[in-house]
């Protein structure tokens, strides 16, 4: 008798395979989109910005949200690309604002070409994003535009935020606009474009917002613990993070004065990495890292809970896996 073999793939492997394949398809569609712009004078700059390595989380969220309510990726691929282009535009402009010299291991666009080229490329990407979203009706187009406005407002709050004395409430308002707004809109629009019910669309929008907040908190935490770096990039730029807010609130007057002096030194050029290391140690000693980890986990739990009422499917499971992936490994 011939023996039969069956190979089962576990949930985590299935999720990884889904993400890999979907991301590959997104990359392919982005390349096709960029190739259609070959006659534009900004084509080299757009190609450089769009086809650089990226996580593609926002288009993935559009597609997963669509599939979780019974839609398919063909229906929403252009919408998914619209969110990736909008996100890329913000990165190009952020590098100009922050005067960063690199992006994803390569020269920032404004360093490779010029400030003018970077500003115009970002503007062109926003226009392309709006054009792609316009094919999905007025509600979705308005949602995309509103999320972009919130994002700009959040970025402005970020660059004008006081480094010392900021409240946690104000911080969460900032990241809700700057970081979570595009994730929320991506999930909402993906579900809406695929005929999701009002409750499904609302649940996925809530998922997107909590996912986006957790994602930004994770970014803050990685920066504060010097993971893969000897600098605290956010604090060097004068950007407020949750660990900084927590450590300041947990310190006495003398400790606050010392912290303020270290932060002033940190923002100066050619500062010793030892100052960054000392601040990072203070974050650990004061429990600020643990506090931030707790906040991340709370948002992940809220994201997962928000889609509990969705019909069970592999796509719902993938959304949960996507949220859980934000937890930092011990």
Between 305 and 232, where is the model more confident?
Answer: 305
Looking at the predicted structure, is the pLDDT value of residue 182 above 70? Answer: yes
Between 88 and 268, where is the model more confident?
Answer: 88
Residue 7: pLDDT band with limits 50, 70, 90 = very low
Q: pLDDT at position 247, please?
A: 93
Q: What is the mean pLDDT of the chain?
A: 92
Mind listing the pLDDT tens digit for each residue in 135-176? Answer: 999 999 999 999 999 999 999 998 888 888 889 999 999 999
Looking at the predicted structure, is the pLDDT value of residue 5 above 50? Answer: no
Looking at the predicted structure, is the pLDDT value of residue 183 above 80? Answer: yes
- The residues, any chain, with a CB within 8 Å of residue 57's CB and separated by 6 or more, are 183, 215
Between 67 and 3, where is the model more confident?
Answer: 67
Helices and strands in the chain: count of H runs, count of E runs: 16, 2
Ordered DSSP codes for 151-176: HHHHHHHHHHS-SSS--HHHHHHHHI
Mind listing the pLDDT tens digit for each residue in 66-76? Answer: 999 999 999 99
Residue 101: phi, psi to the nearest 5? -95, -20
Looking at the predicted structure, is the pLDDT value of residue 217 above 50? Answer: yes
Looking at the predicted structure, is the pLDDT value of residue 264 above 90? Answer: no
- Domain ranges in the chain are 15-324
Q: How far is CA 140 from CA 33, 137, 152, 186, 191, in A?
A: 20, 6, 18, 10, 10
Q: pLDDT at position 53, please?
A: 84
Say which residue the tokens 């063909």 belong to. 74
Phi and psi based region of residue 284 (left: phi greater than 0; alpha: psi -120 to 50; beta: remaining): alpha
For 63, the token pair is 């597609």
Looking at the predicted structure, is the pLDDT value of residue 14 above 70? Answer: yes
Query: 15-324 has which fold?
Result: Farnesyl Diphosphate Synthase (1.10.600)
Looking at the predicted structure, is the pLDDT value of residue 113 above 50? Answer: yes
């Amino acid at each position: 008798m011939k023996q039969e073999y069956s190979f089962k793939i576990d949930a985590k492997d299935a999720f990884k395979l889904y993400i890999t394949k979907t991301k590959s398809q997104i990359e392919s569609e982005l390349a096709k989109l960029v190739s259609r712009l070959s006659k534009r004078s900004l084509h080299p700059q757009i190609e450089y910005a769009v086809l650089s390595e990226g996580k593609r989380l926002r288009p993935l969220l559009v597609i997963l949200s669509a599939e979780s309510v019974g839609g398919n990726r063909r229906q929403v691929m252009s919408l998914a690309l619209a969110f990736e282009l909008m996100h890329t535009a913000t990165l190009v402009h952020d590098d100009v604002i922050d005067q960063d010299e690199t992006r994803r291991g390569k020269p920032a666009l404004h360093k490779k070409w010029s400030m003018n080229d970077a500003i115009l490329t970002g503007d062109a990407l926003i226009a392309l994003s709006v054009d792609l979203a316009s094919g999905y009706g007025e509600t979705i187009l308005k949602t995309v535009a509103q999320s972009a406005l919130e994002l700009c407002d959040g970025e402005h709050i970020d660059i004008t935020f006081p480094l010392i004395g900021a409240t946690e409430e104000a911080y969460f308002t900032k990241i809700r606009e700057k970081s979570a707004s595009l994730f929320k809109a991506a999930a909402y629009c993906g579900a809406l474009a695929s005929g999701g019910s009002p409750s499904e669309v609302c649940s996925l929008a809530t998922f997107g917002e909590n996912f986006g907040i957790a994602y930004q908190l994770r970014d803050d935490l990685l920066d504060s613990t010097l993971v893969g770096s000897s600098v605290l990039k956010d604090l060097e730029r004068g950007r407020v993070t949750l660990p900084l807010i927590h450590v300041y609130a947990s310190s006495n007057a003398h400790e606050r004065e010392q912290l303020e002096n270290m932060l002033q030194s940190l923002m100066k050029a050619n500062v010793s990495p030892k100052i960054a290391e000392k601040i990072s140690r203070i974050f650990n000693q004061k429990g600020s890292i643990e506090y931030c980890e707790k906040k991340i986990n709370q948002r992940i739990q809220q994201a997962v809970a928000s889609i509990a009422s969705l019909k069970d499917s592999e796509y719902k499971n993938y959304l949960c896996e996507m949220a859980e992936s934000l937890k930092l490994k011990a």
